[in-house]
């Protein structure tokens, strides 16, 4: 099939590349000329494991190309995917200006039947708005389909190539057929393609992310209880996770959820509910818990230093909102850095992939180390904010030579308390009793 993907960020680039990988001819469109230049020159713009190899292969095979010129591609494709930003507006609702702006533009460009597929995360009713925006300038035949994306950054290629399910909200048989054909190669293992109406499909995406955010906030509250009651959240997690009704995944406590999706999607669903006078009580609590959990580690640090962090220097391992990505949008590490700087402390940070993005955002307000170990030089304590694999089994002896205080505040529970005690480290983590022993 011939496909256009509009918006070439984390979702668009993975979507375009993976569709090309199954033999489709894909053209990715973005308004960011610098990004398009880089991509056209074979330079990948995001860190996503496994993506670069597919990206380069499909460019070489001439199945994948990049342009800023939307007008030049519309006629040659059958399907147009929207992978555009839907950031929170001032009131927390998803801002549809990018999606509807492109829809209106498409209305001026369409000359024959196309399927316009919305992959952006959008509030219920957006398919109707997209349809109306296109119809302002185009009276011919077209279909609008909702196809929410469930990929996880860090494992996005795997998620896209072998999705647990594909959700399609479509009210036209013609569009459903095209979507089935397109996705068939990705569902060979038997995972389902779920057809539904557009509104249910749009809500499914928000329900999924909000449910996952709720699991995280729930476990973070259990962690708070553990710290106060002398229980160990890892034990509780294992204890409940083996119950099939609960499941083992997404039960890790830490320093709160971040990233480009959970915070904005939870906020947007709360706002959508408020707009129809429904008070989404659980989700409001989920958000509140997350806000306090993001600074919980800083509270522990302050308690340790009796409230005075002035002049203290902290090594920080990990700034990406989760491992295996360079994405720092809403990363808990950034809240921690801000809180520490406000208290008069300094920070020397290291992240395997996210340093450039943090440098763009924070400039020289913090120092950047060239390795996880060099970050420790001259530091009073080590903080861990992202669970990159390489942080899991560090050389503790070498660390002790660089960090004589042997003091660690771990927001991701990477190490066993008993082992740290044995090694002579003072070790603070989340929802465990290590600091009590």
Q: Which residues bind ligand NAD (CB under 6 A)?
A: 6-12, 29-32, 35, 83-86, 98, 101-102, 120-121, 149, 151, 153, 260-261
Question: Rg of the Cα trace of the chain?
Answer: 23
Q: Which is nearer to ligand NAD, 182 or 430 (CB)?
A: 182
Q: At what angle do helices 332-342 and 296-304 cross, to 10 degrees?
A: 30
Q: Which is nearer to ligand NAD, 160 or 425 (CB)?
A: 160
Minimum CB distance to ligand NAD, residue 17 (Å): 13
Residue 261 annotated to the active site: yes
Of 18, 28, 261, 348, which one is the catalytic site residue? 261
CA 26 remoteness from chain centre: 24
Question: Please, are residues 202 and 168 in contact by the beta-carbon 8 Å criterion?
Answer: no
Minimum CB distance to ligand NAD, residue 30 (Å): 4
Minimum CB distance to ligand NAD, residue 331 (Å): 13
Q: Which is nearer to ligand NAD, 78 or 104 (CB)?
A: 104
Minimum CB distance to ligand NAD, residue 66 (Å): 11
Q: Which is nearer to ligand NAD, 25 or 329 (CB)?
A: 329
C-alpha to C-alpha distance for 63 and 67, rounded to whole angstroms: 13
Minimum CB distance to ligand NAD, residue 101 (Å): 6
Q: Which is nearer to ligand NAD, 205 or 296 (CB)?
A: 205
C-alpha to C-alpha distance for 123 and 249, rounded to whole angstroms: 27
SS3 313: strand
C-alpha to C-alpha distance for 206 and 84, rounded to whole angstroms: 16
Question: Please, are residues 180 and 187 in contact by the beta-carbon 8 Å criterion?
Answer: no
Give the CA distances from residue 25 to residues 156, 161, 207, 298, in Å, rounded to whole numbers and listed in that order: 20, 16, 33, 49
- Strands 166-169 and 79-82 come out as unpaired
Q: Which is nearer to ligand NAD, 153 or 326 (CB)?
A: 153
What are residue 318's phi and psi, to 5 degrees? 95, 125
Beta strands in 99-165 (DSSP E): 115-118, 143-146
Q: Which is nearer to ligand NAD, 100 or 233 (CB)?
A: 100
Give the CA distances from residue 437 to residues 6, 45, 74, 90, 413, in Å, rounded to whole numbers and listed in that order: 55, 46, 65, 46, 16
Minimum CB distance to ligand NAD, residue 350 (Å): 24
Give the CA distances from residue 376 to residues 305, 367, 407, in Å, rounded to whole numbers and listed in that order: 18, 12, 11
Using H for helix, E for strand and C for coil, what is the string for 349-395?
Answer: EECCCCHHHHHHHHCCCCEECCCCCHHHCCCCEEEECCCCHHHCCCC
Helices (H), 187-280: 198-229, 233-241, 262-275
C-alpha to C-alpha distance for 210 and 204, rounded to whole angstroms: 10
C-alpha to C-alpha distance for 348 and 350, rounded to whole angstroms: 7
Minimum CB distance to ligand NAD, residue 177 (Å): 25
Minimum CB distance to ligand NAD, residue 112 (Å): 21
Minimum CB distance to ligand NAD, residue 398 (Å): 35
Q: Which is nearer to ligand NAD, 46 or 385 (CB)?
A: 46
Q: Which is nearer to ligand NAD, 37 or 371 (CB)?
A: 37
Give the CA distances from residue 19 to residues 40, 70, 169, 309, 394, in Å, rounded to whole numbers and listed in that order: 17, 19, 19, 51, 39
Residue nearest to ligand NAD (CB): 9
Active site residues: 261
């Amino acid at each position: 099939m011939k496909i256009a993907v509009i918006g070439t960020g984390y979702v668009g680039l993975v979507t375009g590349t993976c569709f090309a990988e199954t033999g489709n001819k894909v053209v990715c469109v973005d308004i960011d000329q610098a990004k398009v230049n880089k991509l056209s020159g074979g330079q990948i713009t995001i860190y996503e494991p496994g993506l670069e190899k597919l990206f380069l292969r499909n460019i070489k095979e001439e199945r994948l190309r990049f342009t800023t010129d939307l007008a030049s591609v519309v006629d040659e494709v059958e399907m147009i995917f929207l992978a555009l930003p839907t950031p929170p507006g001032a009131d927390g609702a998803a801002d549809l200006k990018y999606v509807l702006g492109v829809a209106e533009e498409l209305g001026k460009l369409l000359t024959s039947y196309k399927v316009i597929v919305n992959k952006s995360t959008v509030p219920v009713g957006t398919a109707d708005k997209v349809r109306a925006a296109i119809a302002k300038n185009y009276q011919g035949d077209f279909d609008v389909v909702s196809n929410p994306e469930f990929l996880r950054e860090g494992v996005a290629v795997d998620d896209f190539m072998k999705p647990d399910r594909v959700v399609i909200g479509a009210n036209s048989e013609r569009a459903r057929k095209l979507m089935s054909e397109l996705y068939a190669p990705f569902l060979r293992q038997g995972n389902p393609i779920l057809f539904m109406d557009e509104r249910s499909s749009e809500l499914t995406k928000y329900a999924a992310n909000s449910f996952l955010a709720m699991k995280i906030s729930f476990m973070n509250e259990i962690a708070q209880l553990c710290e106060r009651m002398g229980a160990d959240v890892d034990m509780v997690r294992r204890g409940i996770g083996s119950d099939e009704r609960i499941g083992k995944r997404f039960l890790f406590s830490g320093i709160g959820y971040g990233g480009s999706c959970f915070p904005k999607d939870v906020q947007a669903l709360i706002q959508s509910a408020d707009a129809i006078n429904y008070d989404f009580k659980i989700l409001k609590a989920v958000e509140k818990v997350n806000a306090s959990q993001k600074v919980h580690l800083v509270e522990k640090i302050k308690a340790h230093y009796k409230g005075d962090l002035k002049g203290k220097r902290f090594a920080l391992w990990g700034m990406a909102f989760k491992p295996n990505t360079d994405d720092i949008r809403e990363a808990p590490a950034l809240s921690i850095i801000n809180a520490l700087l406000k208290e008069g402390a300094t920070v020397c940070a290291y992240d395997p992939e996210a340093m450039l993005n943090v440098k763009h955002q924070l400039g020289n307000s913090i120092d950047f180390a060239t390795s996880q170990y060099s970050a420790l030089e001259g530091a009073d304590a080590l903080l861990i904010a992202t669970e990159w694999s390489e942080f899991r089994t560090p050389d503790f002896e070498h660390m002790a030579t660089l960090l004589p205080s042997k003091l660690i505040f771990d927001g991701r529970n990477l190490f066993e308390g008993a082992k740290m005690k044995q090694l002579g480290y003072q070790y603070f983590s989340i929802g465990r009793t290590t600091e009590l022993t």
